[in-house]
Chain A
């Protein structure tokens, strides 16, 4: 190959790689990004049934129920406007508490959110950004514990 052509070939290869990366990423994102919803979104029917989504909110006080198998729990997540029941099998994270924030990954099945993973507020200072807004609303007087 002549040097000139070689340079041309390399530049086109690089451009093709960038294009391929962007197209692949876009395809993957359309199929597999999981969107974040609050219970209000769920009640409004914004979240699709059966697809992988994330649900965030506060764990309603007094709602956590242990199941007979000892390792499953059911509880209710609320954003102050609506409530969504959640089912989870596993050991809840260290900072999972009633009245405190959490984000669950999983899917909606017949009105119940079946969680694969639960992320709790991680320490005194860290909170998932999605929940930051909820906490602000909470402080502004829109009480979450009715």
Chain B
């Protein structure tokens, strides 16, 4: 009954979404005031999808094997946490989570957005309902998560062990909150283009949503990167895998939107540009969903291959993106001109930021989708990997990071004060970083060397907006911006240090033998069998030392029986200046074991930086919400001061 209740809740929610859309049409055509009705419908619709999702969690928690999805993806012997997380570790469950987040975001938007103009709110809620309708149709016709299996099997098929990890419980829901949170920005942009109310008020209504979605995307990408780093056992933190790019593309678009929205909020300029970005940001979320959920690309993450579903998702993508672009083309000429600005001004700086982010987005987009097009058009099979992305997007990102140091120092409209003097310290720091690396590490690659230089520059330059006044009186949004920009410098330093200074050792060791990697001496004590709830493993016992202190690391090779799979579990020791990363391989047949060691100086800065960027977003969001509560009128002009 539980599964049927979930399905019924989904059908009801779909019906309400249809009603919501009809109400919007009625309001726009007949000028009816449906504000209260449409809000209630949106809230109830969100609640119903929550019910459906709770039902799915329930059947997974109980391991109800008469539900096809549970039978295919769960197992009674699985640890409870992974039974729950398994609910969204598969195609249907994750699509249900997607739709749930979409409707719940719509519900919160309907509930909280008292300040949006009435007509735009109604139009935006209608657009949100139109989005939800397509995905309800997808769920109910092509990926029903509640389908029954008769007769019920005696045991489930289990969950892919790679996904049996704490990272799974946290990572996809976080990313989805980010992906789908952008739907509100999309709907608001569509709504505002329908009603013609594209102004700074709209930007202020949109900003908290974009900021919140962006925070989740940032944290989700950071967590996903760390998950891939320790779970895949390759020692890399970013693989330019299509699935990773699928989360990076919405982030790039949302980052651009986050900056242009400030121009619209503070100065009423960049109207068409901001609307375009709002449409593109959520389009990228849908592209990402399509790439991941249709399994069209070669990818270590693509667990589902099903062309029928892919076609459905592609059709949805084409309809929504196409409709939004047509609306944009029809309405863009009617936007009133924005406030003018000079070539050297905060606005111009943000335009440059947006252009660079757009170029990077375009480069990543083309690189990710090119193999698809090439195969469809010429039948040729090819893959685009790290060499392409690093060499094309890398220099652009470094240029952007350099300019981040300058942009926030410019004044709105027209910057008259010379800023060269304020940048002396960052410039000196950058120069000394460059000289130091040339002297100490003459053979370092150009990208890591420039990376360290730019990181030193940005670390100093990013805090300048807080200097020259009492930093405690600076708005929270400024603190958030400074922290996020500083986080970019930290992450960049980690990436460059990892690329430049990683040392690696791959060898066979017998128990008692010692291997050297970087400053470390690692001794293999022995290799022992061990077992977990639903796996057995061979576990190496490694003792690592560098002068004083002793670290114990226990990398494993795990063997799962349901389904039969092996995974490599790396053991990682974190010290203040980096991580020692150890993997055990196979026996060589003569009493030795393959051991792979990496010493990765300062690699932890990558994720620390990601965390700081997200934290900066949280502080800015608090600032915006708090300021709005306190003084609704003066808030817009202060913006990202």
Chain A residues with CB under 8 Å of chain B are 1-4, 6-7, 10, 13-14, 16-18, 20-22, 24-29, 31-36, 52, 54, 66, 69-71, 89-92, 94-95, 103, 105, 119, 122-130, 132
Contact between A10 and B337 (Cβ–Cβ < 8 Å)? no
Per the bound structure, the CA–CA distance linking A1 and B338 in Å amounts to 12
**Measured CA separation A94–B583 after assembly (Å):** 12
Closest CB pairs A-B (n = 6):
A21-B362, A70-B508, A25-B366, A91-B585, A36-B381, A3-B337
CA distance A66 to B382 in the complex (A): 30
CB distance from B576 to the nearest CB of A (A): 28
Q: Which of B358, B363, B381, B596 is in CB contact (< 8 Å) with A35?
A: B381
Quick check: B358 and A123 within 8 Å, CB to CB?
no
Question: Which residues from chain B contact A2 at a C-beta distance below 8 Å?
Answer: 340
| Cβ distance A27 to chain B, nearest Cβ, rounded Å | 8
A94: which of B298, B304, B566, B594 is its contact (CB, 8 Å)? B566
How long is the Cα–Cα vector from A103 to B382 in the complex, in angstroms?
12
Whether A20 and B359, one on each chain, are in contact in the complex, defined by CB atoms closer than 8 angstroms, is yes
A33 to chain B, nearest CB (A): 5
Q: Do residues A95 and B160 form an inter-chain contact, with CB atoms below 8 A?
A: no
Do B506 and A91 touch (CB < 8 A)?
Answer: yes
Q: Is B533 an interface residue (CB 8 A)?
A: no
| CB–CB A126/B583 < 8 A | no
User: Can you name 14 A-B residue pairings with CB atoms under 8 Å?
Assistant: A1-B341, A2-B340, A18-B358, A25-B367, A34-B385, A35-B383, A36-B383, A66-B588, A71-B507, A92-B585, A94-B567, A103-B298, A122-B162, A129-B305
Given A28-B391, A128-B298, A90 contacting B596 (CB threshold 8 A): yes
The answer to whether A25 touches B362 (Cβ under 8 A) is yes
A3, A4, A35, A94: the one contacting B568 at CB < 8 Å is A94
Question: A24, B363: Cβ atoms under 8 Å?
Answer: yes
- Chain B residues with CB under 8 A of A94: 557, 565-568
- The complex places the Cα of A40 from the Cα of B506 at a distance, in Å, of 32
Say whether B340 contacts A6, CB under 8 Å: yes
A25 to chain B minimum Cβ distance, whole angstroms, is 4
Instruction: Contact check, A29 vs B367: say whether CB atoms are below 8 A apart.
Output: yes
Q: Which residue of B lies closest to A18 (CB)?
A: B362
List A contacts of B383 (CB < 8 A).
33-36, 54, 105
Contact A28/B594 with A3-B340, A119-B300 known, Cβ cut-off 8 Å: no
The residues of B that contact A105 with a CB separation of less than 8 Å are: 383, 385
Q: Are B566 and A91 in contact (CB under 8 A)?
A: no
A-B pair number, CB within 8 angstroms: 153
Taking CB atoms, residues of chain B closer than 8 Å to A123 are 160, 162, 303, 563, 565
Across the interface, do A70 and B362 meet the contact criterion of CB distance under 8 Å? no
Closest A residue to B565 by beta carbon equals A123
Q: A95-B566, A105-B385, A129-B298 are in contact. Are A13 and B363 (CB under 8 A)?
A: no
Q: Do A21 and B596 touch (CB < 8 A)?
A: no
Minimum distance in angstroms from A95 CB to a CB of chain B: 7
With A34-B383, A119-B300 known to touch, is A17 a contact of B273 (CB < 8 Å)? no
- Which among B270, B297, B387 has the highest number of chain A CB atoms within 10 Å? B387
Instruction: Count residues of B near A (Cβ-Cβ below 8 Å).
Output: 59
- Contact residues, B371-398 vs A (CB, 8 A): 371, 380-385, 387-388, 391-392, 396
Shortest Cβ distance from B590 into A: residue: A70
Q: Write out the residue numbers on chain A whose beta carbons fall within 8 Å of the beta carbon of B355.
A: 13-14, 16-17
Cα distance A6–B384 when bound, in Å?
Answer: 38
Contact digits for B340-355, partner A, Cβ 8 Å, 1 yes 0 no: 1111000000010001
| B152-199 interface with A by 8 A CB criterion | 160, 162
Say yes or no: is B111 at the interface (Cβ < 8 Å to chain A).
no
Q: Which residues of B contact A129 (CB under 8 A)?
A: 296-298, 305
B589 in the interface (beta carbon within 8 A): yes
Q: A24-B359, A94-B567, A128-B298 are in contact. Are A35 and B380 (CB under 8 A)?
A: yes
- Asked if B208 lies at the interface with its beta carbon under 8 angstroms from chain A, I say no
Is B391 within 8 A of A34, CB to CB? no
Q: A28-B392, A91-B586, A126-B303 are in contact. Are A34 and B594 (CB under 8 A)?
A: no
Q: In this assembly, does B302 line the interface, its C-beta being within 8 Å of a C-beta of chain A?
A: yes
- Which chain A residues lie closer than 8 Å to B273 at the CB level? 10, 14
Q: Is the CB of B370 within 8 A of A33?
A: yes
Most chain-B CB neighbours within 10 Å: which of A17, A95, A103?
A: A17
Cβ A95 vs Cβ B565 within 8 A: yes
B270-320 interface with A by 8 A CB criterion: 270, 273, 295-298, 300, 302-305
| A4 CB to nearest B CB, Å | 7
Closest chain A residue, CB of each to CB of B160 = A123
- Chain A residue at minimal CB-CB distance from B239: A117
Instruction: Say yes or no: B367 contacts A21, CB within 8 Å.
Output: no
Q: Which of B117-141 contact A (CB under 8 A)?
A: none
B592 on interface, CB distance cutoff 8 Å = yes
Structural contact, A28 and B362, CB atoms closer than 8 A: no
Q: In the complex, what residue of chain A is closest to B375 when comparing beta carbons?
A: A129
Find chain A residues with CB under 8 A from B589 CB.
Answer: 66
Bound Cα distance from A54 to B383, whole angstroms: 8
Alpha-carbon gap, A18 to B359, bound state (A): 6
For B382, give its contact among A10, A35, A127, A128 (CB under 8 Å): A35
Q: Is the CB of A32 within 8 A of B340?
A: no
Q: Please tell me which one of the listed residues B351, B370, B508, B583 contacts residue A10 in the complex, with CB atoms under 8 A apart.
A: B351
Give Cα A13–Cα B358 distance, bound, in whole angstroms.
Answer: 11
A124:B337 contact, CB within 8 angstroms: no
CB of A56, distance to nearest CB on chain B (Å): 8
Q: Are B305 and A125 in contact (CB under 8 A)?
A: yes
Instruction: Please state if B388 and A22 are interface contacts (CB–CB under 8 Å).
Output: no
Complex CA gap A69/B362 in Å reads: 45
Q: Closest residue to B362 on the A side, CB-wise?
A: A21
Q: How distant is the Cα of A103 from the Cα of B337 in the complex, in angstroms?
A: 55
How far apart are the CA atoms of A123 and B588 in the complex, in Å?
25
Across the interface, name the chain B residue whose C-beta is closest to A7: B337
Which of A10, A16, A119 meets B270, CB within 8 Å? A10
Nearest Cβ distance between residue B274 and chain A, in whole angstroms?
Answer: 11
Q: Are A28 and B363 in contact (CB under 8 A)?
A: yes
Residue in B303, B341, B363, B382 whose CB lies within 8 Å of A6: B341
Given contact pairs A17-B355, A25-B367, A32-B384, enumerate 18 new A-B contacts (beta carbons under 8 Å): A1-B342, A2-B340, A14-B273, A17-B358, A28-B363, A33-B383, A33-B384, A34-B384, A54-B382, A69-B508, A70-B592, A91-B506, A91-B585, A105-B385, A125-B305, A126-B303, A126-B305, A130-B381
